[in-house]
Amino acid sequence: MSRTYVVTGAASGIGKSTSELLTEQGHRVIGTDLRDAEIVADLSTASGREQLVEEVTRVSGGGVDAVLAVAGLATPNAATVAVNFYGTVATLEGLRPLLLRSPSPRAVAVSSMAALFPPDETLLNALLDGSETEAMARAAELEAGDAQRSSLIYGTAKRALSRWIRRQAPTAEWADASIPLNAVAPGVVYTPMTAYIMSDAAARSQVAAMVPMPLNGFFEPRGVATLLAWLTSEDNAHLCGQIIYIDGGSDAVLRGDTVF
Ligand SMILES: NC(=O)c1ccc[n+]([C@@H]2O[C@H](COP(=O)([O-])OP(=O)(O)OC[C@H]3O[C@@H](n4cnc5c(N)ncnc54)[C@H](O)[C@@H]3O)[C@@H](O)[C@H]2O)c1
């Protein structure tokens, strides 16, 4: 049966590949991005997030079957926190009322295996239990620091997002409303986001050392798209708050027995 899906980050990489797959499967995809999308909205700002919700409500007629929050940045600056955490949360929370009209609503976010890297605890706490103003101020401090400090921004925002998903998924808003809410956590995927790694042999070996992927190594976005399509299909009725590492084994290598 044809369903209506909202995909953020639909113009590139994983979001684009997922939109293409869902369309091939016969579904209606409402793609959103900064450009080249049915709805153009900037998830780094409060007004852009509101615009996303308003426009999706309008073009969908007030109901959607699934929300896929894929959009993200990987730059070592505060904008990455604005998009990857606040933009993703606003997408999921803002579009949740539209899911209530679906007989089989689903929601998923794209986190990252980078959530496993040691975070900046001050930023992590501000994201999960503080205000956006506090979190953005801490992100600006990290951005102004040296490369080691600014490199903490991406993984910390993704760790906060993974925790947010686990905290929210079993609650009245999601589980009690029969909406499976989960995330995927990819390893290194060939997209424009990682093009700089692929074009530089030294960067490639440095990333390969940080992200061990014994199962088939770096891979194409279609691999993530297939999992996202299943997670947001009617077939997925019982996964709740899972962070699924589609990472060629980096989670198994790095965390080993500590997760079971
Ligand atoms: N590529 C990887 O190796 C990898 C690994 C783990 C997680 N991820 C995550 O996967 C998701 C997709 O990344 P990708 O690799 O496809 O990258 P990508 O750069 O190809 O696509 C990201 C998309 O997000 C959009 N976006 C960025 N800022 C935005 C904003 N302010 N408002 C709206 N849209 C915005 C971009 O325009 C782009 O189209 C991201 O959340 C990323 O963190 C990627």
Phi-psi region of 198 (alpha: psi -120 to 50; beta: other; left: phi over 0): alpha
**pLDDT by residue, tens only, the chain of 260 residues:** 899 999 999 999 999 999 999 999 999 999 999 999 999 999 999 999 999 999 999 999 999 999 999 999 999 999 999 999 999 999 999 999 999 999 999 999 999 999 999 999 999 999 999 999 999 999 999 999 999 999 999 999 999 999 999 999 999 999 999 999 999 999 999 999 999 888 899 999 999 999 999 999 999 999 999 999 999 999 999 999 999 999 999 999 999 999 98
Phi, psi of 34 (to 5 degrees): -75, -15
Q: How far apart are the C-alpha atoms of 79 and 235, rounded to whole Å?
A: 35
Q: Is residue 245 annotated as part of the catalytic site, yes or no?
A: no
Q: Is the CB of 33 under 6 A from ligand 1?
A: yes
Residues paired with 243 in a beta bridge: 183
Q: How far is CA 47 from CA 11, 44, 50, 84, 253, in A?
A: 20, 9, 5, 16, 41
The b-or-e profile of 190-206 (16+ CB within 10 A means b, else e) is bbebbeebeeeeeebee
Nearest Cα residue to atom 20 of ligand 1: 13
DSSP at 12: S
Nearest C-alpha neighbor of 88 from the set 190, 183, 23, 222: 183
Domain ranges of the chain: 4-247
Nearest Cα residue to atom 2 of ligand 1: 189
As given in the structure block, the two tokens for residue 137 are 């101020």
Give the Å distance between the CA of 72 and the centre of ligand 1.
Answer: 4
Q: Among 3.40.50.720, 3.30.200.20, 3.40.30.10, 3.40.1160.10, what is the CATH number of 4-247?
A: 3.40.50.720
